[in-house]
């Protein structure tokens, strides 16, 4: 059976990719199709799906800053959206009930509010997967979306504890001592090296220290994975650990999306309600937009964050399943949510992929905040006297910056997505500011660019470099552009799209290594 699942997932994912859709759309459709032929998820698939979600949340924690959750735009927006969205869906369902929808017949308002609460959440797995595919996890809007999703996970823990009557054990208070163990975790991460032990360490802390420890005291395992990831986020190898788990996590998440489609039980009344819930989905996105709007982010930031959250969450199935087993909701509601959630993914995927185009078409109709009053994360920036701008100050961008600085002096400006990383570069003497190269407004926000003669696109994700290249062309930049690529087809694509030079980071690493050896050792051969 597993061979059938793998084969069908590969074919459907490949077709989705060729249709310019995320492969996860193909995985979801595969699940629906297999279910129609009588297949159902087995325990192996369920276990691998759970493992994928745990590793995903652990990876989020590795990139998360606790200070972000304490920001007003995160906790206030998440709380207000949860309350307003629950009320909106409750009222909408009451209206459908009044119109005579069979699947809602006989439900009282408290039951409708329970359904509304389940629909108020957005999918962490889907949103983060989409952000990763676009290379915009650390963009301002991406961090906003992730922060809100983490707050929703906290709401989920509170609800599950209250609804089941299961109160966390008194021992759960001991978890507040976990930060004291951070030096030990750091030492372990130093000692495990860079190979398979690093991957095994990540799985161990995510599943055992995170999931297992938290479950043992009556808390949600997913919350434990995020918390343990956050404890390790300040380590210099946190990024390497996240990358080492990336392919493993991606593989297990295929099982997650297959599992959702396979678990969907189709019925006429449930299907009708699911379609009506899909029609209500845009209102959920509008509520996100209105909740974020008062925090004075630019229109693009607010809109793209809202579109990233434009889906229903798999948590809705957990709520509905729990309510069904408690006798609070009929089976048709469970069926409707089981169908509506994956359908929302299928609809949301192309919307997220086209989010920049949607913004560009809608921007003239949406009033933007005054520049001087913008949120500090979104304010105008100055290029100063820079003649070279480097997007992406990771290892490659930093190396390029230092090399150009040694040859030509103070001509560089580095652009980094994460403020903490930008501050570290500034502390080391580099001219680095925070910015988002994939932002269509970037060249409208940045000032004093007349002297810029060269742009280096050194971001780790090819999609981000492609978007930045396209935006440079749209804003009539006339200087030279160079970009990095991981594969030959990506290199060819960048050159065809207008880059003046593109470099394969793997082949260039060997060339650079040989050049460095010759410069440093000056060998002589017969």
The per-residue pLDDT for 164 is: 56
Contact assessment for residue 472 and residue 142, using Cβ atoms and an 8 Å cutoff:
no
Collect all residues with Cβ–Cβ distance below 8 Å to 160 and sequence separation of at least 6: 166, 220, 318, 322
Is residue 94 over pLDDT 90? yes
Across 135-144, 241-250, 495-504, the highest mean pLDDT is recorded for 495-504
Per-residue confidence band for 160, with pLDDT thresholds at 50, 70 and 90: low
**Chain segment 114-147, per-residue pLDDT in tens:** 899 989 999 887 888 788 777 677 677 888 898 8
Is residue 289 over pLDDT 90? yes
Largest CA distance in the chain: 93
Distance of CA 115 to the CA centre of its chain: 26
- What's the whole-number mean pLDDT along residues 351-368? 82
What is the average pLDDT value for the chain, to the nearest integer?
82
The per-residue pLDDT for 322 is: 65
The per-residue pLDDT for 441 is: 60
Tokens describing residue 331: 């089976």
- The more confident residue out of 492 and 449 is 492
Per-residue confidence band for 526, with pLDDT thresholds at 50, 70 and 90: low
Contact assessment for residue 446 and residue 382, using Cβ atoms and an 8 Å cutoff:
yes
The CA distance from 329 to 199, in Å, is 42
- What's the whole-number mean pLDDT along residues 185-212? 86
Percent of the chain with pLDDT strictly greater than 90? 18
Per-residue confidence band for 214, with pLDDT thresholds at 50, 70 and 90: confident
Across 195-199, 475-479, 512-516, the highest mean pLDDT is recorded for 195-199
**Chain segment 6-21, per-residue pLDDT in tens:** 888 899 888 887 887 7
Map tokens 């500034």 to a residue: 426
- What's the whole-number mean pLDDT along residues 294-322? 83
Percent of the chain with pLDDT strictly greater than 70? 89
Q: Other CB atoms closer than 10 Å to residue 430's CB: what's the count?
A: 20
Map tokens 């230092």 to a residue: 402
Tokens describing residue 280: 């209500």
Is residue 482 over pLDDT 80? yes
């Amino acid at each position: 059976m597993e061979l059938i699942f793998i084969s069908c997932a590969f074919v459907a994912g490949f077709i989705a990719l060729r249709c310019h859709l995320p492969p996860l759309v193909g995985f979801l459709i595969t699940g629906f199709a297999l279910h129609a032929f009588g297949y159902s998820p087995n325990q192996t698939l369920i276990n691998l799906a759970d493992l994928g979600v745990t590793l995903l949340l652990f990876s989020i924690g590795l990139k998360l800053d606790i200070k972000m959750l304490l920001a007003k735009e995160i906790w206030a927006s998440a709380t207000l959206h949860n309350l307003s969205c629950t009320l909106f869906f409750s009222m909408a369902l009451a209206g459908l009930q009044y119109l005579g929808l069979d699947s809602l017949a006989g439900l009282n308002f408290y039951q409708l509010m329970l359904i509304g609460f389940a629909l108020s959440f957005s999918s962490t797995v889907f949103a983060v997967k989409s952000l990763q595919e676009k290379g915009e996890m650390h963009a301002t809007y991406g961090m906003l979306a992730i922060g809100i999703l983490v707050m929703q996970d906290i709401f989920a823990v509170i609800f599950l504890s209250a609804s089941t009557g299961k109160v966390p054990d008194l021992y759960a208070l001991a978890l507040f001592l976990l930060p004291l163990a951070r030096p030990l975790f750091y030492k372990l991460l130093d000692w495990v090296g860079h190979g398979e032990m690093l991957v095994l360490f990540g799985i161990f802390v995510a599943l055992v220290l995170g999931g297992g420890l938290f479950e043992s005291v009556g808390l949600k395992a997913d919350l434990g994975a995020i918390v343990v990831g956050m404890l390790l986020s300040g380590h210099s190898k946190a990024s390497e650990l996240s990358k080492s788990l990336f392919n493993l996590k991606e593989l297990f998440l295929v099982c997650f999306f297959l599992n959702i489609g396979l678990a969907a039980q189709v019925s006429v009344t449930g299907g009708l309600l699911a379609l009506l819930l899909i029609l209500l989905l845009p209102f959920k996105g509008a509520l996100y937009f209105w909740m974020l709007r008062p925090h004075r982010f630019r229109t693009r930031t607010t809109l793209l964050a809202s579109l990233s959250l434009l889906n229903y969450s798999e948590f809705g199935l957990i709520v509905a399943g729990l309510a069904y087993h408690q006798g609070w909701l009929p089976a048709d509601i469970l069926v409707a949510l089981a169908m509506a959630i994956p359908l929302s993914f299928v609809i949301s995927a192309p919307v997220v992929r086209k989010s920049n185009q949607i913004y560009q078409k809608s921007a003239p109709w949406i009033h933007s905040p005054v520049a001087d009053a913008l949120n500090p994360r979104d304010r105008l920036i100055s290029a100063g006297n820079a003649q070279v701008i480097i997007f992406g100050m990771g290892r490659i961008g930093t190396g390029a910056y230092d090399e150009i600085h040694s040859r030509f002096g103070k001509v560089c400006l580095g652009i980094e997505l994460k403020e903490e990383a930008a501050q570290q570069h500034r502390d080391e003497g580099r001219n680095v500011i925070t910015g988002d190269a994939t932002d269509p407004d970037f060249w409208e926000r940045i000032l004093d660019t007349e002297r810029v003669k060269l742009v280096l696109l050194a971001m780790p994700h090819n999609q981000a470099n492609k978007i930045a290249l396209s935006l440079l062309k749209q804003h009539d930049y006339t200087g030279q552009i160079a970009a990095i690529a991981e594969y030959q087809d990506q290199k060819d694509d960048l050159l065809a799209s207008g880059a003046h030079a593109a470099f394969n980071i793997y082949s260039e690493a060997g060339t650079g290594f040989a050049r460095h050896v010759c410069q440093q050792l000056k060998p002589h051969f017969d």
